[in-house]
Structure 1
Amino acid sequence: MMNRRLFSQSAAAVASLVLMSLPVASMAAEEAPDAMIKRLSNEVLETIRNDASIKSGDVDKIMVLVDRLLMPHVNFRRMTAAAVGPGWRKATPEQQKRLQDEFKVLLVRTYSGALSQVTNQTVDVKPMRAAAGDKDVLVRTEVRGKGDPVQVDYRLEKDGSGWKIYNLNVLGVWIVDTYRTQFGQEVNAKGIDGLIESLVARNKANAAGNTK
């Protein structure tokens, strides 16, 4: 079972995805995906170190950063659809929007507390194995700081606006796959509306916990 120190490191690594200070899409389109991840990782770590409110877990400020900087560079619709599983195709457009909104809040609130753990971490990007024309790639990294390095891998796809992240692996566990198991059980038991209600309840519980 993951010890507390290792959990803090891995959660901080996941938080880097949530808070990436990303540039405009035109610049991202010109960069190789591994170079993009390296630069963005350095930027987000620096941003966290220099912003006391982010380090304290200010969810409202984190959400503003996510909406303004992260969302244009992540295929969040694909992430949510993959996490929900087969039930996504049966959801109405309104239900799909609510699922995306609540899933985003869940991710932000789940990892916001890890931001206080970010101190002197650095990111080492491993050599990428991909052909020149590949449009779906894996970028492997290690987050180094106190304790053992934390493996963080990114799945990215290339579309008309550049490279977009659609999944994240921390210590061998793909985040979307983990939620797919949880969400699938909710959909099977209570349907799409039941999953939405469950996400709303979890987010309210997380919010209440953060205010204590």
Structure 2
Amino acid sequence: MKLLLAKFSALCLGLSFLVVGSAMAQESSPDAMIKRVTDEVLTIVRADRDIQNGNTKKAIDLVENKVLPYFNFQRMTALAVGRDWNKATPEQKKRLSDEFRTLLVRTYSNALTSYRNQTVSYKPFKGQDSDTDVIVKTEILQPGSKPVQLDYAVEKHSDGWKVYDVIVGGISLVTNYRDTFRQEVSTSGIDGLIQMLVTKNRQLESGKAADRK
């Protein structure tokens, strides 16, 4: 997990760009959608001094209201938990998804406040009109640093395209949690994994509360 968290600055910045209005449901092309909303969000973040100055609450509100409806958190959680997902009851699956969602929201929101003049390069999209599960490739360009490859795994639903994984530098966000989650389940069961996520989220919340004092 430490490896993953070390990459979150670039990763979550890219994810945070997926802020979108109601027009998203009408997008027929996932790459066009990501380009459009990325450009919109870059404009918003560049103009919002509160977010740039570390207003975590405002960043969380932004993510909660504009980003989350367009992610498939249950599939993301199932991929992260791996084969142990089938051991969970429906109630445990819901709790796992809720806690994993909270963890990602808080991480994304923190990354959003760290925006510093990054730009995005869009790679040629190779999907077909009939595809329902595709990869959209981009790069995050950072002044003074190497570009970071950031790819989105996107699936088509009845209400539009939804992201279910993000791959940064060739490493999947969700599957990079798998070893940690599997180890926790092997020692403490599904409830132990839930409690681990609860504890992590409380720690993140406490840290943000301390920062606001």
Question: What TM-score, normalized to structure 1?
Answer: 0.85
Aligned partners of 1:57 and 1:112 also within 8 Å:
no
Identity of aligned residues (%): 47
Query: 94, 98, 101: which is aligned to 1:97?
Result: 94
Query: 142, 146, 149: which is aligned to 1:148?
Result: 146
The residue aligned with 1:200 is: 198
The residue aligned with 1:131 is: 128
Pairing 1:1-212 to 2, within 5 Å after superposition: 11-18=9-16, 20-24=18-22, 27-146=24-143, 147-210=145-208, 211-212=210-211
Give 2:35's aligned amino acid. K
Q: Identify if the C-alpha distance between structure 1 residues 30 and 209 changes in structure 2 by more than 3 Å, giving closer, same or farther.
A: closer
Q: Identify if the C-alpha distance between structure 1 residues 40 and 132 changes in structure 2 by more than 3 Å, giving closer, same or farther.
A: same
**How much does 1:103 deviate?**
0.9
Number of equivalences: 204
**How much does 1:108 deviate?**
2.5
Distance 2:150 2:42 in 1: 14
Aligned partners of 1:59 and 1:108 also within 8 Å:
no
Aligned partners of 1:152 and 1:168 also within 8 Å:
yes
Q: Identify if the C-alpha distance between structure 1 residues 55 and 35 changes in structure 2 by more than 3 Å, giving closer, same or farther.
A: same
Distance 2:53 2:156 in 1: 34
Give 1:142's aligned amino acid. E
Runs of 5+ consecutive residues of structure 1 not aligned to the other structure = 1-6
Q: Deviations over 1:62-94 (max 9, x none)?
A: 333333222221111111111112222232222
Distance 2:37 2:56 in 1: 21
Distance 2:153 2:107 in 1: 21
